[in-house]
Amino acid sequence: LNTNETKTVDYNRLTRVPLYRQNLALISKVNIRSLVNQMGLIVPIVLFNLMTLMVVGAIVFRYMNRQTKSIYALIQSLKHIKKIPNNTQVDVQGTYETKTLGTTINQLLTTIDENYFTSIENEKKKRQLEIQTMQAQIQPHFIYNTLTSLKFLIWQKENQKAIHGIDHFIDLLRSTIGKKAETIIVEEELKSVQSYIHILSLRYGDDIATRIMVPDELCPFKVPNMMIQPIIENAFLHAFQTKKSGFITLFGKIHETQLIFEIVDNGDGFDTNQKKKNKDYFSGIGVKNVNERIKLLYGKEYGLQIQSIMGVGTTVKITLPLIS
């Protein structure tokens, strides 16, 4: 073989490559038949590798799916928890890590539920204490005014009127202070109002006429205890400072899902834009008390609304939910 010459002898391909530095030559011998036979193994090797890859991929996929399935299930359980509390617990399943995570989440949900219900109970107790405090405030308030009226009658030597007033005062105490419930039926509230109106009428005489126009169908519904009496009292004490005579009327009606009372007088009226203490209906402890109690019991959408026109009169509207 010459340098860089290639020859084929008996299925052997010979090639001579010089090695310059050593003054030697490298002879390459390749068996063509063996090479062709080896090339036939490429396709089986490729197929074997593909099959191996598929099997290994399936095993890996199954393993990963087993690892992540429980995590996705936990995520879906968390998505279905719309609000707290609803006594919801997530499913604890899967690997050790997922079970630990699910158990921890359930413990957190339980703690949130307990804290929520504890907070609700505390708010209820707080609301009850606030309402009881308001009732404790308003009772001495009207007792003081009632005793003042009775004292006025005795000072005028109207002993018989004073005796009748004391009888009504006893009935009033029995129906108000004797009842510890937050709410009573309309019928009981009207009896208290009638007793109180009788006591005030003994002092003011026939100059201020009163009328109660409440349908009998309203009697079974629930209202806050001592709700109307402070409004009537406020009208007697403040509505007729300039005018010496007039009327006070109590209306009652049902409007859709609301129970509405209106106390209307044709007294002096006042400017609702000016919050003068001697003119502002909400400055008195009684009226302010009623408004706050109603909102505590039923929500901010209920309570008192006052409309007044100077020289014409005042209307106090009480809005309550319809509770039988």
pTM: 0.58
> What pLDDT, in 10s, does the model give residues 14-37?
998 888 777 788 999 998 888 877
Give tens-digit pLDDT for 160-213: 888 888 888 887 777 666 656 778 899 988 988 888 888 878 777 778 899 999
Range in 2-6, 21-25, 156-160, 255-259 the model is least confident about:
21-25
Give the confidence band of 282 by pLDDT, cuts at 50, 70, 90: very low
Rounded-to-integer distance, Cα 268 and Cα 312, Å: 6
Task: Tell me which amino acid residue 141 is.
Answer: H
Residues 265, 237 contacting (CB under 8 angstroms): no
Confidence of residue 151 (pLDDT cuts 50, 70, 90): confident
Distance of CA 155 to the CA centre of its chain: 54
Q: Are 263 and 275 in contact (CB under 8 A)?
A: no
Element (H, E) at 133: helix 96-155
Q: Going by C-beta distance under 8 Å and a sequence separation of 6 or more, which residues neighbour residue 125?
A: none
Radius of gyration over every alpha carbon of the chain, rounded to an integer in angstroms:
47
CA–CA distances in Å: residue 137 to residues 151, 195, 285:
22, 20, 8
Tens of pLDDT, residues 61-70: 888 887 777 7
Task: Look at residues 90, 91, 92, 98 and name the one whose alpha carbon lies nearest to residue 68.
Answer: 98
Nearest partner of 262 among 320, 188, 183, 184, judged by Cα: 320
DSSP 8-state symbol, 221 = S
Q: Between the ranges 86-90, 147-151, 178-182, 245-249, where is the mean pLDDT highest?
A: 245-249
**How would DSSP label each residue in 10-40?**
TTEEEEEEEETTTTEEEEEEEEHHHHHHHHT
Superfamily of domain 123-321: Histidine kinase-like ATPase, C-terminal domain (3.30.565.10)
How high is the mean pLDDT of the chain? 82
Q: Where are the domains of the chain?
A: 6-63, 123-321
Place of tokens 């005028």: 156
pLDDT of residue 302: 93
The two beta strands, 183-185 and 222-224, are: antiparallel
Angle formed by the axes of helices 96-155 and 186-204, nearest 10°: 30
